[in-house]
Amino acid sequence: MPGLRKPPVRAARALVLGLALLCGCPYAAADAEPPRLQVPGVDEAAPRTFVVYGDTRFTERAGVSNPIARRALVQQIALEKPLAVFVGGDLVYEGHDRQDYEVFARETQAWTEAGIPVFPALGNHEFRGCDTDVQQPCLENWWAAFDALHLAPHRWYSVSLGRALLVLVLDSDSALRVHSPQRQWLEQQVDAADGRFPFILLLLHYPPVRDPIFPRGGDEREIARYLAHRAPSLRSQAIVVGSHVHNYERFEKNGITYLVSGGGGAKPVPAFRMFGELSHLRTSTNFHYLRFTLEGDRLSGVMVRFDPAVGLADAWSEPDRFVVRAKE
């Protein structure tokens, strides 16, 4: 996790990965294809809780993130003791600045001490400070911050949470159009997992379904098109979580739940809650995270909201709840 340094040479890395594969360690992965990771310590007989949210913007810069809300969310998540935390991008404010990743490591020390693994997706701020054509320095910082996951040189990967859930962590700053490398990988993963996992969760930064007032960021709409075509024959139940919009939204299209969870600390953006939005929240500022619980054929979701403008006794609420059921 944060603070671990990358092996200096490829031979050392290969040796570490080879030993990890032999010992059955959960984060073993090979360079030839995107990593296939596993969340350790999953008890299939017990309720399994994990957290998803995005746009935390760990940084010491003023005016771009609310450090009070950001730190409160981190501490509350630590109290939840989830099996894993999934961050949908914009983990830091400037991906070129290693100090932002140091802020992340410092402020999430409670997660590290509790052994809670963190699985990040790339967002646009992971590339902030790097030229569009020279993204490698920013990627190196991201890979180094999560060296224990052995993500390099890949930008997308999968994580299984026991036998019930497969999470496909995508990079919405890379092409998602038909025949693109990431799209081919995505379709292969879905086809291989279909029916084997009751639930498949797609995590990416730019939400494929959201308030259309906000401009699109890339190819994320291709995900909604793909799932609309694939949903009728899909035996697993799909859920999609994006962030980028600094608020919370919930939609359902073609039997698939689409969520926007961008309230991790970044400067709030109001949501108009039109066009079929299901939560109907009346609050414009929604710092929050999503708590998911797997139990039987149910995946229950709760939006856990923090309000920094009120006293601690009233700061926490759970204004939106939903249930996604596995297909028969």
Per-residue pLDDT of 236-272, as tens digits, reads 999 999 999 999 999 999 999 999 999 999 999 988 8
What is the C-alpha separation between 317 and 132, in angstroms, rounded? Answer: 40
The answer to whether residue 15 sits within a structural domain is no
CATH number at residue 156: 3.60.21.10
Q: Compute the residue count for the chain.
A: 328
- The DSSP bridge pattern shows strands 248-253 and 256-261 to be antiparallel
The answer to whether residue 6 sits within a structural domain is no
The answer to whether residue 107 sits within a structural domain is yes
The answer to whether residue 304 sits within a structural domain is yes
Q: Is the pTM of this model over 0.85?
A: yes
Compute the average pLDDT of residues 109-122.
97
Q: How many domains does the chain have?
A: 1
> pLDDT tens digits for 286-298?
999 999 999 999 9
Segments forming the whole domain that contains residue 180:
43-325
In the block, tokens 């009346």 appear at: 282
pLDDT at 36 over 80: yes
Closest CA to 318 of 270, 284, 279: 279
The answer to whether residue 9 sits within a structural domain is no
The answer to whether residue 13 sits within a structural domain is no
What is the C-alpha separation between 258 and 284, in angstroms, rounded? Answer: 19
Do the Cβ atoms of 259 and 250 come closer than 8 Å? yes
The answer to whether residue 7 sits within a structural domain is no
> pLDDT tens digits for 119-167?
999 999 999 999 877 899 999 999 999 999 999 999 999 999 999 999 9
Q: Which of the 8 DSSP states describes residue 127?
A: G
Compute the average pLDDT of residues 210-233.
88
Closest CA to 221 of 178, 271, 165: 178
> pLDDT tens digits for 49-104?
999 999 999 999 999 999 999 999 999 999 999 999 999 999 999 999 999 999 99
The answer to whether residue 33 sits within a structural domain is no
